[in-house]
Structure 1
């Protein structure tokens, strides 16, 4: 891999992993505009590691509190807001874990279909736009209950459909349930941690089994660039949606979906 391919793929992964715009749709466009070879499984794992590092670093204080309170609740010494939030993240992860195992083979075969990606981008983008326009929730992520977490988790399982966007669909459901924009995004980002661990873990297992040689410099550089771009994305996205909302991303999704249909018609 040359440095330009590493840079482009890392930035795409870092920025689109947490924006409600579908990273898979962007990655499928890369070979359309370049003659680069496939980056390989090892590089995909490195990019996921970078995104994971970014979200853990950004929410490090919350994660420390949540972990400590969750352990306290396991010991039977009471449950506070941080412990409940930790339990809601765990509960919301279960549906996508089960769904991923059930449809893994189908996803590997059909998930990169440009037509399906375009359909997911447009339809779920419009749904996000309608919900963001009509729902003006006031609740924070700490005011959620187990039913909220379960509904958001079920919505997250829909992200297995190409073009949906994991962050987009979870924010949509959170807004629909009455969370405010910032809380919806923050809970979606927290939910990304176990999802990235599970997805990256499966890729890492496949990588070990394959026994292929890896270019460690490319992997480290890709992980670093992915981490930096993902961290910046989280920081500025939270400030952006609080003031402006989701509509710019809705417009972008629809236009990208139309572009995919035009390119692959």
Structure 2
């Protein structure tokens, strides 16, 4: 039997790591207590964990959030301010689908959260999304290589032509690979440029269509086992964004969802639960620290590595869940 504070620590770390790494926090928070034979946590404890991860994402993306606020208020009229003003405004319509689903299907979603079988099944959906996303990106990267190769052949044929002395970048371009926005030399914050994926677009070229695709696919994350970040990163890459741009927008898009869900659940903090103040404190600190580290890890990872490893992990976690369900039975029967 684990001491209560250790259970709180483990669940806080699980929440923080899996909220942002594309392996589904909801799926893990359903399966871990079920497989360990722990009593379900109170609503107050769940709210505390989400508070921890909300503070983590707000801290990590404080620069982007300030750029969005300054851009929207017209306090920053630089290229960066214009780009992040557009990003901030586009987050609003992209957040509407998940808000509607959360309000209209709240009871059904809460019922699904108690089912380890649903969580295990949906982890397989997350795996499929990640594999499909990497497949789309790989085909786009290959198409870019073929385009570059064809361009190299044409350049060789025209090698003896007189050289043009003008600016090859065009008026106002920054020369940053993969970015089409003018005047980006003033941009300090990362926009998701991926030299390996020059056909992919960055946050500078974000469109309403792209964000609505991400917002629509985010709705799948109301089901335990479907990763919010996995769904929105996949949607972004499907819509034409680079993997890094899709990841950065995914984290910015999750902020309204986390803030909204947390605010709606603040009333649950008053509900009596079995957790003590120490356990609640341990949970929120663990969720905050592990969540911050998870964001930092994933943002660095997507710029150089594929996410297929997370897909294989989701398959393995789903298999553990299925085996556990076969041995233990439905939740609450032990």
**TM-score after normalising by structure 1:** 0.91
* 1:104-183 → structure 2 map (5 Å cutoff): 104-135=106-137, 136=140, 137=197, 138-183=200-245
Other structure's SS at 1:72 match: coil
User: Considering only aligned residues, what root-mean-square deviation do their CA atoms show, in Å?
Assistant: 2.0
Match in the other structure for 2:194: none
Specify every segment of 5 or more residues in structure 1 that has no aligned partner in the other structure, as ranges.
74-78
Q: Cα–Cα, structure 1 residues 124 and 228, in superposed 2: closer, same or farther, change >3 Å?
A: closer
Structure 1 35/121 Cα, relative in aligned 2: closer, same or farther at 3 Å? closer
Task: Give distance in 1, aligned partners of 2:129 and 2:31.
Answer: 23
Q: Is structure 2 residue 99 aligned with structure 1 residue 94?
A: no
Aligned twin of 2:325:
264
Structure 2: distance between partners of 1:156 and 1:45: 20
CA distance in 2, matches of 1:213, 1:256: 28
- The 3 A distance-change label for structure 1 pair 50 and 185 is same
Q: Distance in 2 between matches of 1:225 and 1:213?
A: 19
Q: Distance in 2 between matches of 1:178 and 1:91?
A: 18
Counterparts of 1:258 and 1:30 in 2: how far apart (Å)?
13
> Does the 8 A contact of 1:96 with 1:157 survive in 2?
yes
Provide the residue aligned with 2:16 in structure 1. Answer: 14
User: For residues 306 and 104 of structure 2, what CA distance do their matches in structure 1 show?
Assistant: 34
Deviations 1:206-262 (A, max 9, x none): 334x46697333222221121111111111111112211110001111111122122
Contact 1:21 1:121 in 2 (8 A): yes
Alignment length, in residue pairs?
259
Q: Which residue of 2 aligns with 1:76?
A: none
Superposition pairs for residues 216-255 of structure 1, below 5 Å?
A: 216-255=277-316
In the alignment, which residue of structure 1 is the partner of 2:6?
Answer: 4
Contact kept in structure 2, 1:181 and 1:245, CA below 8 Å: no
Structure 2: how far apart are the matches of 1:146 and 1:90?
A: 10
3-state DSSP class of the match of 1:229?
Answer: helix
- By how many angstroms is 1:49 displaced? 0.9
Q: Which residue of 1 aligns with 2:162?
A: none
Q: Classify the secondary structure of the residue corresponding to 2:284.
A: helix
Per mean C-alpha deviation after superposition, the further-off stretch among 156-165 and 58-67 is 156-165
Structure 2 CA distance for partners of 1:213 and 1:30, relative to 1, 3 Å: closer
Partner Cα separation in structure 1 for residue 232 and residue 101 of structure 2 = 15
Gaps of 5+ in 2: 76-80, 141-196, 327-334
Residue from 42, 53, 58 that aligns with 2:60 = 58
1:23 counterpart residue number: 25
1:178-217 mapped onto 2 (5 Å cutoff): 178-208=240-270, 210=271, 215-217=276-278
Which residue pairs with 2:84 in the alignment?
A: 82
In the TM superposition, what is the alpha-carbon distance from 1:151 to its structure 2 partner? 1.2
- Distance in 1 of aligned mates of 2:15 and 2:50: 8
TM-score normalised to the size of structure 2?
0.73
1:215 and 1:225 map into 2 onto residues whose CA distance is 15
Whether the aligned pair in 2 keeps the contact of 1:126 and 1:254 (CA below 8 Å) is no
